[in-house]
Structure 1
Amino acid sequence: MNLQKLLSYTRRAVDDYQMISPGDKIAVGISGGKDSLTLLYALRGLQRFYPNPFTIEAISIAVFKEMDLNPVKALCGELGVPYTIVPTDISEIVFKERKEDNPCSLCAKMRKGAFNEKAKELGCNKVAYAHHKDDIVETMLMSLIFEGRFHSFSPYTYLDRMDLTVIRPLLYVPEADIIGFKNQYELPVCKNPCPADGHTKREYAKNLVRQLSTEHPGAKERMFTAVINGRIPGWPEKKGKE
């Protein structure tokens, strides 16, 4: 996938759900993975021509002290995006002090809390997460299997306690295209040192979607359509042009 295709996907999602308003200051969460780096490129590219002017701030929450984020810092410098690294003790708390059997939930909660606080401190009114099309489908399956409900991420969510709006501009981008973009543009992906990486419920859902798609071609696309049209509580209706 080239940059033009990425921007087309992103523009469509932003227009369909009116994610960006004039004057928005958007914090982009950068984990160092392929998804968040692709989101950074997408919003920086969109910023150059989108009719609603907006600014962006890149933020990384340093969960693991040994993770080298210097390549991300260099990329932000090249793109002209302000970049902030927030040091934390999250990994020590989750893995050493609490020794969580299911570390992902607590880690995500603490990481989001630190990210939102820094976003507010920097004067942002919106935060952008890098959830893509496959994430939407996988989350729906996880909700069905583990929670007994039909649910998934919303294109945008207002956090009233923080007075922040979460947006997900990569809503329509398949993970396979993100992998292609990463390879074509040689994104400086940082290795994730998390000991739980690859052993999560999400990884289980990802493998299940892959199996269903192999046995029933088109299944993933149909599941995504079911989510988009499923009238999930809290999901906004499309407002862009069909």
Structure 2
Amino acid sequence: MSLIAVRSVRQGAIGNVWGLLAKASCQLIHSSQVQRLREQARSHIGTRPVLAVKCPAFRHTPLADPSAMGTLTVNQNKLQKRLRRLAGEAVADFNMIEDGDKVMVCLSGGKDSYTMLDVLLHLQKVAPIRFEIVAVNMDQKQPGFPEHVLPAYLKALGVAYHIVEKDTYSVVKELIPEGKTTCSLCSRLRRGTLYTFADEIGATKMALGHHRDDIVETFFLNMFFNGSLKAMPPKLRADDGRNVVIRPLAYCNEKDIQAYSDFKQFPIIPCNLCGSQENLQRQVVKDMLVDWERKTPGRTESIFRSLQNVQPSQLADRNLFDFTSLKIDESAASRFVNVVNL
């Protein structure tokens, strides 16, 4: 059974229960509301018991400041609920995780991947299916990379993990001239290594931390610089056919993720290889979208929704729509109206 099978209220009693439990687990509600939710759930599944789901206690990590990690404020609680809800919706909408999956969570040490791991650990607790999580970090042998940070963090969480060591840094520095953008080659080398490792450990899904803003930025990058309409799909089967990539944060925006990372105080590891490069095409597009969002709030979300509402007949790709066969439909009712002179 997959998550998509238990989310939609149109798909029977289990879907209703999943929605009710998600509401109970991710919102601050009064005891009377909890009782009402339980009664509503029982009405959908008869005499079967309803699981009482409770939000897990906030975890302290040895790499965070304990004085700043007390009870969540109202705004922090709302933020946490929103990220969990949106990630859960994305997982369900695209059937990202199924019963028995082994999900390899790719952890770079950045805010996005930390947030993704945090959210998936919560979903693992409340989801009506069982799936395994294993965190994987790739040590690319960049100078100054703090090798101790991620192992210490993951051990404190009790999360199974692997550190994959491969010196792609030297390869990138050798092949890319000084001052040129290294991101493209670096990401290809990293992705290839992670695909291979996922196959080795028997991972059925590979989770990446790309969010809504990444997807929209990639859409414009391909449009402006490659002449193609494509972005980052929330779910993708790799070209080798042996790996399925999922992006659980596809519905989450970067601003929320940054705020969540700040109050969680994740031990962020900066990318020293490309983080300081200026004039990156992605940064230009990011700045453009930030400016648009400032002038017209909600524009980025509208653009993202357009990626879910594609009409090939209104574009110009002959591979997606048969324009050559378009002819008048002789059986269609005429719109001609007789005008009678009175």
Q: TM-score, normalised by structure 2?
A: 0.64
AA aligned to 2:87 is: T
* 8 Å Cα contact 1:20-1:52 kept in structure 2: no
Structure 1 SS opposite 2:126: coil
1:97-147 deviation digits (Å, cap 9, x = unpaired): 213434211111100011111111111011001010111111111111111
Larger RCO (CA under 8 A, 6+ residues apart) = 1
Q: How does 1:8-157 map to 2 (within 5 A)?
A: 8-63=85-140, 64-95=142-173, 97-100=174-177, 101-157=180-236
Is 1:168 matched up with 2:247?
yes
Is 1:192 matched up with 2:243?
no
For the structure 1 residues 49 and 11, does the alpha-carbon distance in structure 2 shift closer, same or farther, using more than 3 Å as the test? same
For the structure 1 residues 124 and 13, does the alpha-carbon distance in structure 2 shift closer, same or farther, using more than 3 Å as the test? same
| Post-superposition offset of 1:18 | 0.9
| Residue equivalent to 1:239 | none
* 8 Å Cα contact 1:7-1:42 kept in structure 2: yes
1:7 is aligned, of 70, 81, 84, to 84
For the structure 1 residues 128 and 90, does the alpha-carbon distance in structure 2 shift closer, same or farther, using more than 3 Å as the test? same
Is 1:205 matched up with 2:282?
no
Return the alpha-carbon distance in structure 1 between the equivalents of residues 82 and 156 of structure 2: 21
Return the alpha-carbon distance in structure 1 between the equivalents of residues 301 and 231 of structure 2: 15
* 8 Å Cα contact 1:129-1:168 kept in structure 2: yes
Q: Which moved further from structure 2: 1-10 or 44-53?
A: 1-10
Identity %: 32
| Residue equivalent to 1:240 | none
AA aligned to 1:149 is: S
Return the alpha-carbon distance in structure 2 between the equivalents of residues 59 and 46 of structure 1: 19
Structure 1 SS opposite 2:203: coil
Return the alpha-carbon distance in structure 1 between the equivalents of residues 150 and 82 of structure 2: 23
Return the alpha-carbon distance in structure 2 between the equivalents of residues 118 and 45 of structure 1: 25
1:208-238 deviation digits (Å, cap 9, x = unpaired): 11112223332212111111222689xxxxx
AA aligned to 1:91 is: Y
Task: Give the number of equivalent residue pairs.
Answer: 232
* 8 Å Cα contact 2:138-2:166 kept in structure 1: yes
| Residue equivalent to 2:330 | none
| Post-superposition offset of 1:161 | 1.4
Task: Extract unaligned runs of 5+ from structure 1.
Answer: 234-242
